[in-house]
Chain A
Protein backbone atom coordinates (compact mmCIF):
# COMPACT_ATOMS: atom_id res chain seq x y z
CA UNK A 1 0.00 0.00 0.00
CA UNK A 2 1.42 3.39 -0.91
CA UNK A 3 1.39 6.46 1.28
CA UNK A 4 -1.23 8.18 -0.86
CA UNK A 5 -3.90 5.62 -0.11
CA UNK A 6 -3.32 5.57 3.60
CA UNK A 7 -6.63 5.83 5.31
CA UNK A 8 -7.73 8.55 7.72
CA UNK A 9 -7.79 5.88 10.40
CA UNK A 10 -4.15 5.06 9.77
CA UNK A 11 -3.23 8.66 10.40
CA UNK A 12 -5.17 8.50 13.62
CA UNK A 13 -3.29 5.39 14.68
CA UNK A 14 -0.03 7.11 13.89
CA UNK A 15 -1.02 10.11 15.99
CA UNK A 16 -2.22 8.07 18.95
CA UNK A 17 0.39 5.34 18.73
CA UNK A 18 2.37 6.40 21.78
CA UNK A 19 -0.67 6.77 23.96
CA UNK A 20 -1.83 3.39 22.73
CA UNK A 21 1.47 1.73 23.63
CA UNK A 22 1.51 3.44 26.99
CA UNK A 23 -2.00 2.19 27.67
CA UNK A 24 -3.34 5.67 28.15
CA UNK A 25 -6.32 5.30 25.83
CA UNK A 26 -9.72 4.28 27.06
CA UNK A 27 -13.26 3.56 25.96
CA UNK A 28 -14.47 4.06 22.41
CA UNK A 29 -11.21 5.54 21.14
CA UNK A 30 -9.25 2.53 22.31
CA UNK A 31 -11.76 0.09 20.92
CA UNK A 32 -11.85 1.80 17.55
CA UNK A 33 -8.08 1.90 17.35
CA UNK A 34 -7.67 -1.72 18.37
CA UNK A 35 -10.17 -2.82 15.75
CA UNK A 36 -8.39 -0.93 13.03
CA UNK A 37 -4.92 -2.14 14.01
CA UNK A 38 -6.12 -5.72 13.93
CA UNK A 39 -7.28 -5.52 10.35
CA UNK A 40 -4.74 -3.08 8.93
CA UNK A 41 -1.29 -4.59 8.27
CA UNK A 42 0.36 -1.18 7.90
CA UNK A 43 -0.83 -0.03 11.28
CA UNK A 44 0.03 -3.33 12.84
CA UNK A 45 3.54 -2.82 11.55
CA UNK A 46 3.65 0.77 12.69
CA UNK A 47 2.72 -0.18 16.24
CA UNK A 48 4.99 -3.22 16.34
CA UNK A 49 8.07 -1.46 15.12
CA UNK A 50 7.78 1.38 17.61
CA UNK A 51 7.23 -1.11 20.39
CA UNK A 52 10.35 -2.88 19.22
CA UNK A 53 12.41 0.30 19.26
CA UNK A 54 11.41 1.05 22.83
CA UNK A 55 12.29 -2.47 23.88
CA UNK A 56 15.66 -2.29 22.12
CA UNK A 57 16.60 0.86 23.97
CA UNK A 58 15.44 -0.49 27.29
CA UNK A 59 17.33 -3.76 26.87
CA UNK A 60 20.55 -2.21 25.62
CA UNK A 61 20.84 0.11 28.54
CA UNK A 62 23.72 -0.35 30.90
CA UNK A 63 23.29 0.95 34.37
CA UNK A 64 26.66 0.43 35.93
CA UNK A 65 29.03 3.27 36.45
CA UNK A 66 32.65 2.59 35.38
CA UNK A 67 34.78 1.86 38.45
CA UNK A 68 37.30 4.67 37.95
CA UNK A 69 34.45 7.14 37.71
CA UNK A 70 32.94 5.75 40.92
CA UNK A 71 36.25 6.21 42.71
CA UNK A 72 36.65 9.78 41.55
CA UNK A 73 33.07 10.54 42.57
CA UNK A 74 33.72 9.22 46.08
CA UNK A 75 36.78 11.46 46.23
CA UNK A 76 34.84 14.53 45.20
CA UNK A 77 32.23 13.88 47.87
CA UNK A 78 34.86 13.19 50.52
CA UNK A 79 36.56 16.51 49.75
CA UNK A 80 33.25 18.37 49.91
CA UNK A 81 32.59 16.77 53.28
CA UNK A 82 36.02 17.77 54.57
CA UNK A 83 35.52 21.32 53.38
CA UNK A 84 32.22 21.49 55.20
CA UNK A 85 33.47 20.09 58.50
CA UNK A 86 36.72 22.08 58.24
CA UNK A 87 34.83 25.33 58.41
Chain B
Protein backbone atom coordinates (compact mmCIF):
# COMPACT_ATOMS: atom_id res chain seq x y z
CA UNK B 1 0.00 0.00 0.00
CA UNK B 2 1.17 3.50 -0.79
CA UNK B 3 2.00 5.01 2.60
CA UNK B 4 0.95 8.46 1.46
CA UNK B 5 -2.49 7.19 0.66
CA UNK B 6 -4.73 6.87 3.69
CA UNK B 7 -7.92 6.24 1.78
CA UNK B 8 -8.19 2.52 2.46
CA UNK B 9 -7.34 2.92 6.12
CA UNK B 10 -9.86 5.72 6.49
CA UNK B 11 -12.59 3.58 4.98
CA UNK B 12 -11.69 0.64 7.22
CA UNK B 13 -11.58 2.87 10.30
CA UNK B 14 -14.95 4.35 9.37
CA UNK B 15 -16.34 0.84 9.28
CA UNK B 16 -15.15 0.36 12.84
CA UNK B 17 -11.79 -1.30 12.27
CA UNK B 18 -9.78 -0.44 15.40
CA UNK B 19 -6.46 -1.57 13.94
CA UNK B 20 -6.94 0.68 10.93
CA UNK B 21 -7.61 3.64 13.18
CA UNK B 22 -4.54 2.80 15.24
CA UNK B 23 -2.49 2.74 12.06
CA UNK B 24 -3.77 6.19 11.08
CA UNK B 25 -2.76 7.47 14.51
CA UNK B 26 0.63 5.83 14.12
CA UNK B 27 1.15 7.48 10.75
CA UNK B 28 0.18 11.00 11.68
CA UNK B 29 0.94 11.45 15.38
CA UNK B 30 4.55 12.51 14.84
CA UNK B 31 3.75 15.22 12.35
CA UNK B 32 0.79 16.45 14.34
CA UNK B 33 2.84 16.54 17.53
CA UNK B 34 5.71 18.51 16.01
CA UNK B 35 3.32 20.79 14.20
CA UNK B 36 1.63 21.51 17.54
CA UNK B 37 4.96 21.91 19.28
CA UNK B 38 6.12 24.52 16.80
CA UNK B 39 2.89 26.43 17.16
CA UNK B 40 2.55 26.17 20.92
CA UNK B 41 6.18 26.26 21.98
CA UNK B 42 5.73 23.91 24.93
CA UNK B 43 5.67 20.12 25.04
CA UNK B 44 2.82 20.11 27.51
CA UNK B 45 0.56 22.26 25.34
CA UNK B 46 1.57 20.33 22.26
CA UNK B 47 0.53 17.05 23.86
CA UNK B 48 -2.86 18.50 24.74
CA UNK B 49 -3.33 19.61 21.17
CA UNK B 50 -2.25 16.17 19.94
CA UNK B 51 -4.72 14.35 22.16
CA UNK B 52 -7.64 16.66 21.42
CA UNK B 53 -6.89 16.47 17.72
CA UNK B 54 -7.10 12.69 17.63
CA UNK B 55 -10.15 12.67 19.88
CA UNK B 56 -11.84 14.89 17.33
CA UNK B 57 -10.64 12.68 14.52
CA UNK B 58 -12.04 9.68 16.35
CA UNK B 59 -15.41 11.30 17.03
CA UNK B 60 -15.85 12.93 13.63
CA UNK B 61 -14.34 10.41 11.28
CA UNK B 62 -17.71 9.41 9.84
CA UNK B 63 -18.24 13.06 8.95
CA UNK B 64 -14.98 13.30 7.03
CA UNK B 65 -16.12 13.37 3.43
CA UNK B 66 -12.82 12.59 1.77
CA UNK B 67 -12.97 15.59 -0.51
CA UNK B 68 -9.56 16.61 0.78
CA UNK B 69 -6.67 14.46 1.88
CA UNK B 70 -6.94 12.91 5.32
CA UNK B 71 -3.68 14.61 6.34
CA UNK B 72 -5.09 18.01 5.36
CA UNK B 73 -8.16 17.35 7.43
CA UNK B 74 -6.06 16.41 10.47
CA UNK B 75 -3.94 19.52 9.99
CA UNK B 76 -7.01 21.67 9.99
CA UNK B 77 -8.19 20.15 13.26
CA UNK B 78 -4.76 20.36 14.90
CA UNK B 79 -4.18 23.91 13.70
CA UNK B 80 -7.56 25.06 14.94
CA UNK B 81 -6.96 23.41 18.31
CA UNK B 82 -3.61 25.17 18.58
CA UNK B 83 -4.84 28.56 17.40
CA UNK B 84 -7.80 28.42 19.75
CA UNK B 85 -5.46 27.91 22.68
CA UNK B 86 -3.08 30.60 21.53
CA UNK B 87 -5.91 33.08 21.15
CA UNK B 88 -7.07 32.29 24.63
CA UNK B 89 -3.58 32.99 25.88
CA UNK B 90 -3.86 36.29 24.02
CA UNK B 91 -0.30 36.94 23.26
CA UNK B 92 0.09 40.44 21.97
CA UNK B 93 2.53 40.38 19.15
CA UNK B 94 1.24 43.06 16.82
CA UNK B 95 3.87 45.59 17.81
CA UNK B 96 6.62 43.13 17.15
CA UNK B 97 5.13 42.32 13.80
CA UNK B 98 5.34 45.82 12.42
CA UNK B 99 8.75 46.29 13.90
CA UNK B 100 10.22 43.12 12.52
CA UNK B 101 8.75 43.41 9.08
CA UNK B 102 9.35 47.10 8.66
CA UNK B 103 12.88 46.20 7.66
CA UNK B 104 11.81 44.21 4.63
CA UNK B 105 14.28 44.77 1.84
CA UNK B 106 16.92 46.40 3.98
CA UNK B 107 19.00 43.39 4.74
CA UNK B 108 22.46 43.69 6.12
CA UNK B 109 24.13 42.28 3.07
CA UNK B 110 27.36 41.43 4.87
CA UNK B 111 25.59 39.25 7.38
CA UNK B 112 23.64 37.46 4.75
CA UNK B 113 26.78 36.92 2.71
CA UNK B 114 28.50 35.25 5.65
CA UNK B 115 25.48 33.14 6.32
CA UNK B 116 24.97 32.03 2.73
CA UNK B 117 28.59 30.97 2.44
CA UNK B 118 29.02 29.25 5.76
CA UNK B 119 28.46 25.55 5.72
CA UNK B 120 27.59 25.80 9.40
CA UNK B 121 29.95 22.87 9.85
CA UNK B 122 31.42 24.16 13.06
CA UNK B 123 28.06 24.83 14.61
CA UNK B 124 26.72 21.88 16.61
CA UNK B 125 23.47 20.31 15.44
CA UNK B 126 21.78 21.01 18.72
CA UNK B 127 22.88 24.62 18.50
CA UNK B 128 21.48 24.96 14.99
CA UNK B 129 18.23 23.37 16.02
CA UNK B 130 17.91 25.66 19.03
CA UNK B 131 18.56 28.70 16.84
CA UNK B 132 15.98 27.55 14.30
CA UNK B 133 13.40 26.99 17.00
CA UNK B 134 14.11 30.31 18.66
CA UNK B 135 13.82 32.24 15.40
CA UNK B 136 10.59 30.49 14.48
CA UNK B 137 9.14 31.15 17.92
CA UNK B 138 9.63 34.88 17.38
CA UNK B 139 7.26 34.94 14.44
CA UNK B 140 3.67 35.92 15.16
CA UNK B 141 1.51 32.82 15.12
CA UNK B 142 -0.33 33.63 11.90
CA UNK B 143 3.02 33.67 10.14
CA UNK B 144 4.55 30.79 12.07
CA UNK B 145 1.66 28.53 11.21
CA UNK B 146 1.99 29.26 7.49
CA UNK B 147 5.75 28.75 7.40
CA UNK B 148 5.44 25.55 9.41
CA UNK B 149 2.79 23.98 7.24
CA UNK B 150 4.23 25.10 3.97
CA UNK B 151 8.00 24.78 4.34
CA UNK B 152 8.38 22.22 7.09
CA UNK B 153 5.35 19.97 6.71
CA UNK B 154 5.27 20.32 2.94
CA UNK B 155 1.63 21.22 2.39
CA UNK B 156 0.75 23.14 -0.77
CA UNK B 157 -0.38 26.78 -0.82
CA UNK B 158 -3.90 25.62 -1.58
CA UNK B 159 -3.92 23.18 1.31
CA UNK B 160 -2.66 25.76 3.77
CA UNK B 161 -5.26 28.20 2.51
CA UNK B 162 -7.93 25.57 3.03
CA UNK B 163 -6.78 24.73 6.54
CA UNK B 164 -6.53 28.33 7.68
CA UNK B 165 -9.51 29.53 5.66
CA UNK B 166 -7.53 32.34 4.09
CA UNK B 167 -6.76 33.11 0.44
CA UNK B 168 -3.83 31.64 -1.47
CA UNK B 169 -2.31 35.13 -1.98
CA UNK B 170 -2.49 35.63 1.79
CA UNK B 171 -0.65 32.34 2.30
CA UNK B 172 2.02 33.36 -0.16
CA UNK B 173 2.50 36.78 1.33
CA UNK B 174 2.83 35.43 4.87
CA UNK B 175 5.18 32.72 3.71
CA UNK B 176 7.38 35.22 1.91
CA UNK B 177 7.66 37.57 4.87
CA UNK B 178 8.30 34.69 7.23
CA UNK B 179 11.12 33.39 5.09
CA UNK B 180 12.78 36.79 4.83
CA UNK B 181 12.42 37.36 8.53
CA UNK B 182 13.88 33.98 9.44
CA UNK B 183 16.75 34.45 7.03
CA UNK B 184 17.62 37.85 8.52
CA UNK B 185 17.28 36.53 12.03
CA UNK B 186 19.44 33.46 11.42
CA UNK B 187 22.05 35.44 9.53
CA UNK B 188 22.49 37.55 12.61
CA UNK B 189 22.51 34.59 14.98
CA UNK B 190 25.06 32.55 13.10
CA UNK B 191 27.30 35.49 12.49
CA UNK B 192 27.29 36.33 16.17
CA UNK B 193 28.07 32.76 17.10
CA UNK B 194 30.80 32.31 14.53
CA UNK B 195 33.53 33.29 16.98
CA UNK B 196 36.45 35.68 17.13
CA UNK B 197 35.67 37.70 14.00
CA UNK B 198 32.67 39.26 15.58
CA UNK B 199 34.68 40.86 18.33
CA UNK B 200 37.39 42.43 16.22
CA UNK B 201 36.64 46.02 15.44
CA UNK B 202 39.42 46.48 12.94
CA UNK B 203 37.02 45.94 10.06
CA UNK B 204 36.20 48.91 7.95
CA UNK B 205 32.80 49.14 6.47
CA UNK B 206 32.32 50.39 2.94
Chain A residues proximal to chain B, CB less than 8 Å: 1-3, 6, 11, 14-15, 17-19, 22, 42, 45-46, 48-50, 52-54, 56-58, 60-66, 69-70, 72-74, 76-77, 80-81
Contacts and interface: CB of A to CB of B under 8 A. Distances in A.
A80 B29 contact: no
B29 A70 contact: yes
B170 interface: no
B21 to A, nearest CB: 8
A4 B33 CA distance: 45
Question: DSSP class of B's interface residues: helix, strand, loop or mixed?
Answer: helix
Contact of B187 (A22, A49, A60): A49
A49 B152 contact: no
B45 to A, nearest CB: 12
Contact of B115 (A14, A49, A64): A49
Interface of B: 18, 21-22, 25, 29-31, 33-34, 47, 50-51, 54-55, 58-59, 104-107, 109, 112-113, 115-116, 120, 125, 128-129, 132, 136, 147, 151-152, 157, 172, 175-176, 179-180, 182-183, 186-187, 206
